[in-house]
């Protein structure tokens, strides 16, 4: 490129780096001076750094700019590499609240929602990129509530409270806590799996699932800690219960998995936790079940809202939901259902003693709990869109293992 004269250089737009070298931040001033100028613009660079011209020539070559000398004054000729790099770039949707696209492009990768995405780079390996397959309008609000409602297992429960129960009732609590931990582990694994297959454009749903995983981790901790408060071993894990939970983990579809776990399973689980809180024989058991029930209610709210959203967009989706319930029922029809030890433990906890009249009351309360679970499932199914008679029939097909 031909040189200009010293006189020409004096008339060029210029920047003075003073003593700043390009190796200690001077390039930032150059980029700032060039950013608003069109390609082909000539910019004289003044400075006292002894290697300025050498460094500037190398910087121009690396960044797609031309380099010239106007006598002893280095000159940058702005190139078009920045514009070329962004040719074909597109926004990953909008960053404004409530602006969620119907279809998220896998080519956006992990770009923030609303970012300008340079073309190229690896496509994101995720399964769910369509809004209606994962979304619920209530998700942002539920996430805000979840973030504000986090609690610390070490301080939210008074673990120093003295708990002295009759041996059989303590054993019953341990058995129920063992059962709760088992169910919470399934309730942690499932959203964690869903989370990894979700496009991050739907970040509120992703954040909500992440908090749900954290919730279940806390529940596992406090239930285990309560079980070991006065014992050194946990209770029995039943084959039927594990088989029931495995059917949840085997469901590959986002909405069907959320429906089976949250609408049916966790919905019934909330009733169970509230029952345990109401009949808790000690303050620690009352606290851990109360805190867990509050979290689980939020999980149920998202599952119901998301499933209702899917049905509203496609009423035929009710058929898929019905099939999922019937398929799970068929898979579990030959299993024993709820661990008998768990059932008996619930009766004893509600009874509070071995007196025959107390045991009868405990038995009736557990029967009422199961009726309340069934009625709750029916209401949620009706809210989603099932006719009342079909909602009742499907509610009755839910696993006897509660979750």
Determine what percent of the chain is predicted with pLDDT higher than 70. 98
The CA–CA distances, whole Å, from 267 to 117, 172, 174, 175 equal 41, 23, 23, 21
pLDDT exceeds 70 at position 31: yes
Strand, helix or coil for residue 75? strand
pLDDT exceeds 50 at position 5: no
pLDDT band at 84 (very low <50, low <70, confident <90, very high): confident
Output the CA torsion sign for 145, 257, 195, 217: positive
- Which two structure tokens, joined as six digits, stand for 403? 């979750």
Please check whether residue 210 is in contact with residue 235, taking contact to mean a CB–CB distance below 8 angstroms.
no
Residues 242-258 have a mean pLDDT of 93
> What is the pTM (predicted TM-score) of this model?
0.85
The pLDDT value recorded for residue 1 is 42
Ramachandran region, residue 151 (left: φ > 0; alpha: ψ -120 to 50; beta: rest)? beta
pLDDT exceeds 90 at position 50: yes
14-16 and 42-46 as β-strands: parallel, antiparallel, unpaired? parallel
Strand, helix or coil for residue 188? helix
* DSSP string over 11-61: HS-EEE-TT--GGGTHHHHHHHHHTTSPTT-EEEEE---TTHHHHHHHHHH
Please check whether residue 386 is in contact with residue 394, taking contact to mean a CB–CB distance below 8 angstroms.
yes
Residues 185-194 have a mean pLDDT of 96
Q: How far apart are CA 137 and CA 135, in angstroms?
A: 7
pLDDT exceeds 50 at position 4: no
Q: How far apart are CA 170 and CA 230, in angstroms?
A: 8
Task: Provide the mean pLDDT of the chain.
Answer: 94
How many other C-beta atoms lie within 10 A of the C-beta of residue 332? 20
Task: Report residue 115 CA to chain centroid gap.
Answer: 21
Q: How do residues 336-380 score in pLDDT, each as one tens digit?
A: 678 899 999 999 999 999 999 999 999 999 999 999 999 999 999
Q: What are phi and psi of 69, to 5 degrees?
A: -125, 130
């Amino acid at each position: 490129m031909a040189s200009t004269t010293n006189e020409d250089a004096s008339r060029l737009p210029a920047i003075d780096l003073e003593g700043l070298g390009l190796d200690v931040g001077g390039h930032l001033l150059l980029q700032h001076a060039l950013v608003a100028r069109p390609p082909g613009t000539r910019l004289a660079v003044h400075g006292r750094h002894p290697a300025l011209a050498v460094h500037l020539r190398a910087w121009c070559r690396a960044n797609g700019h031309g380099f010239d000398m106007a006598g002893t004054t280095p000159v940058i000729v702005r190139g078009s590499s920045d514009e070329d790099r962004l040719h074909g770039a597109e926004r990953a949707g909008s960053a404004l609240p409530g602006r969620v696209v119907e279809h998220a492009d896998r080519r956006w990768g992990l770009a923030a929602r609303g970012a300008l995405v340079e073309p190229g780079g690896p496509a994101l390996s995720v399964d769910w990129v369509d809004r209606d397959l994962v979304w619920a309008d209530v998700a942002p609000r539920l996430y805000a509530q979840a973030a504000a409602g986090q609690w610390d297992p070490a301080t939210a429960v008074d673990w120093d409270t003295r708990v002295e129960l009759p041996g059989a009732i303590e054993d019953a609590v341990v058995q129920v806590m063992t059962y709760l931990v088992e169910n919470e582990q399934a309730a942690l694994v499932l959203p964690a799996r869903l989370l990894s297959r979700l496009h991050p454009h739907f970040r509120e749903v992703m954040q909500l699932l992440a908090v749900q995983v954290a919730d279940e981790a806390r529940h596992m901790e406090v239930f285990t800690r309560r079980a070991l408060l006065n014992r050194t071993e946990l209770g029995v894990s039943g084959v039927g219960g594990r088989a029931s939970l495995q059917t949840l983990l085997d469901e590959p579809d986002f909405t069907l998995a959320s429906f089976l776990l949250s609408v049916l399973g966790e919905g019934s689980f909330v009733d169970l936790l509230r029952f345990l809180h109401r009949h808790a024989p000690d303050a620690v058991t009352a606290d851990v079940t109360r805190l867990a029930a509050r979290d689980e209610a939020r999980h149920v709210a998202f599952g119901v809202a998301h499933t209702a959203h899917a049905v509203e967009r496609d009423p035929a989706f009710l058929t898929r939901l019905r099939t999922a319930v019937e398929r799970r029922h068929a898979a579990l029809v030959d299993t024993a259902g709820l661990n008998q030890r768990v059932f008996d433990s619930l009766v004893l906890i509600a009874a509070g003693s071995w007196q025959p009249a107390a045991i009868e009351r405990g038995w009736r309360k557990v029967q009422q709990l199961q009726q309340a679970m069934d009625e709750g499932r029916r209401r949620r199914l009706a809210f989603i869109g099932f006719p009342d008679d079909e909602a009742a029939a499907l509610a009755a097909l839910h696993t006897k293992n509660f979750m």
